Chains A and B, each alone.
Chain A
Amino acid sequence: MTQTYWRMILRMVAGAVALVCAQGWQPAEAQLRIDITQGNVDPMPIAIPYFMGPSPKETTVGSEMVGVISGNLSRSGLFRPLDPKSFIQKADAIGTLPRFGDWRLINAQALVTGGVTTEADGRLRVEFRLWDVFGEQQMEGRVFFTRSDNWRRVAHLISDKIYERLTGETGYFDTRIVFVSESGTKAARVKRLAIMDQDAANQRFLTSGRHLVLTPRFSPAMHQITYLSYINDKPRVYIYDINTGQQEVLGDFPGMTFAPRFSPSGDSVIMSMARNGNSDIYVMNLRTRAVVRLSHSPAIDTSPYFSPDSQYVTFNSDRGGMQQIYVMRASGLDVKRISFGDGRYATPVWSPRGDLIAFTKIYKGRFYIGVMRPDGSGERLLTESFLDEGPTWSPNGRVLMFFREKPSDSRGLGGGSRLHSIDLTGYNEREIPTLGDASDPAWSPLIPLPEGG
């Protein structure tokens, strides 16, 4: 090992991963790079030999990590992990410098190498490097220290580093999805809050299913989820604390509160409240508990969502006679309709990059997920089915997740709801392998890595 390391100790909320960055790679020009703004790009061939360790225990972890990394990169649609059987240079022979010629022969554009060892205190030490095979240089090198049961998270962090170096975009693999898990017949559906990693690993329930729950959303710091629950037959917005498991009703409103989302700062929750049958949009400051009413129409105003700079709110309203998407200032002033196509438009969700609003469109009995610019121009439909609804953005604004319901037969069978994802390009649609039926997904931000010294 010739590199000198500078050390960043990062304490994790879940699992204490320490990260060390390997210096020394030159930021070369004419680097290996994928343009992810193109639709249907040729996936980049990438070789990821198993991360070897000194004992079978570490090698097992290393091979499982490579499985997670390969799965992430493959599902992104931008990479094509090569079959390990085609590798000429074997993993245990790579050492500190690969034989690039061997990897060029199998046409690997990028190569990921790594190793796993166990520290004296029992933690795993995971090292990885990303190589430009044709440029014959290291593009990235990092060392992580982690609890041995936390290797999956390190695999996601490594996946993000690879994605970032090769696309120039922030990654989205070290993230979670909160959603509603569904079971039972259509007439007596049981709905529970559930959470999982972005790759559908570690699925677990957050609520028991005794009460109907809908539309969960993460707080920006990810320690809270806001959602709608029918506890006590009073549909109200609640906040669930992931660390304590405690659920608290938000505020003391005389009518149904619903459609909650956190503001980008996490300081407030924007939602709808129904009063005498009329739904308007309100925002509640979580510290002062002050409530401000933002919309004043006799129409249905709901599904509000802040722009990432907190300056604007988009929502859907039928004030013009039909459900359409509007944008207003966060003060509630300057309301403008932005959707003008045929059909009904709903569930506007601002991209984390700020450049687009994703939505559900209903037209001639079909449902679509689409995107448009915040001024309503450039509408593009990405999906279509009997019922596609409720898009949510990956934190880098490149992938959308939504739920899709199938129609039921006369006995109410054959329906069911699953989560799907699709690239912003309109390609790479995939079903998410949840354990059961699922709906109302919300994608988390990147899991926080607190500043280290």
Chain B
Amino acid sequence: MRKVSMGLKLVGMAAAVFLLAACESTPQGGGAGGGGGGGGSGSSAIVPGSQADLEATTSNRVLFGLDRHDLTEEARAVLQAQAGWMAKYPSVMVTVAGNCDERGTREHNLALGERRANSAKDYLVSQGVDAARVTTISYGKERPIALCSDESCWSQNRNGTTTVN
């Protein structure tokens, strides 16, 4: 048994540092590298390889059907775009979080979220992304992005969300 206090291995420390850098707002003229195109309304530039850059390029979220973890055509297209973006920034590491709506039991949903995250990861890998660059995590039904209790929100909460580390 590993003591928590001693066992906190900061896996992905380098990635964390990268994230900090990415979060700093770059004052003007951040054109180096050209970003992924789109987004970025004049006043503040988007840091290339950042979360904002990813989201300006394509959606960072794919949606799943009820109790499903297979990818829709739309989801594949989004993941293809994510893979293309990652190809431009070979040092970028991402985490795909699998999420579920509130209409399942907690533990089943943790497992279902894991399946969804892995579906997305597998597809990214099939599109040429090095598997070591993609971490997965499941939040089950613990991290809803849409808060109402009807299908309009539940369909949003059944997702795989890609976040730059």
A261 to chain B, nearest CB (A): 11
Which of B22-30, B48-56, B81-89, B101-109 lines the interface with chain A? Answer: B101-109
A409 cross-chain contacts in B, Cβ below 8 A: 148-149
Residues of B within 8 A of A239 (CB): 1
Report whether A347 and B3 are in contact in the complex, using a CB–CB cutoff of 8 Å.
no
Would A347 and B107 count as touching, CB distance under 8 A?
A: yes
A246 to B103, CA, bound (A): 34
- Chain A contact residues (Cβ within 8 angstroms of B): what range? 35 or more
Measured between beta carbons, the chain A residues less than 8 angstroms from B104 are 323, 346, 362
**A187–B145 touching, CB < 8 Å:** yes
Contact of A277 among B8, B95, B107, B115 (CB under 8 A): B115
Residues of B contacting A235 in the complex (Cβ-Cβ under 8 angstroms):
110, 137-138
A232 contacts B by Cβ under 8 Å = yes
Range of interface residues on B (Cβ < 8 Å): 35 or more
Does A258 contact B107, Cβ atoms closer than 8 Å? Answer: yes
Contacts of B47 in A (CB 8 A): none
A408: which B residues are within 8 A, CB to CB? 147-149
SS class of chain B's interface: helix, strand, loop or mixed? mixed
Q: A249-B2, A365-B103, A389-B105 are in contact. Are A256 and B138 (CB under 8 A)?
A: yes
Answer whether residue B7 sits at the interface, using C-beta atoms and an 8 A cutoff.
yes
B119 cross-chain contacts in A, Cβ below 8 A: 277
Interface flags, B146-159, vs A, CB<8A=1, else 0: 01111000000000
Asked if A278 is at the interface (CB within 8 A of a chain B CB), the reply is: yes
- Complex formed: what's the CA distance from A186 to B143 in Å? 8
Contact of B149 among A249, A256, A415 (CB under 8 A): A415
Can you sample 17 A-B contacts with CB below 8 Å?
A189-B142, A191-B142, A248-B4, A252-B2, A256-B114, A276-B118, A277-B117, A279-B110, A302-B111, A303-B105, A346-B108, A387-B103, A390-B105, A407-B149, A408-B147, A411-B148, A415-B149
Q: Which residues of B contact A (CB under 8 A)?
A: 1-4, 7-9, 11, 67, 69, 95, 102-108, 110-112, 114-115, 117-119, 122, 136-139, 142, 144-145, 147-150
A residues within 8 Å of B by Cβ? 185-187, 189, 191, 212, 214-215, 228, 231-235, 238-239, 246-252, 255-256, 258-259, 272, 274, 276-279, 289, 300, 302-303, 316, 318, 323, 346-347, 360, 362, 365, 386-387, 389-390, 405, 407-412, 415, 440
Task: A214-B142, A248-B4, A249-B4 given; name 20 further pairs at CB < 8 Å.
Answer: A228-B110, A235-B110, A246-B3, A248-B1, A248-B2, A250-B1, A274-B110, A277-B136, A300-B108, A302-B107, A302-B110, A316-B108, A318-B67, A346-B107, A362-B104, A389-B106, A390-B105, A408-B148, A410-B147, A410-B148
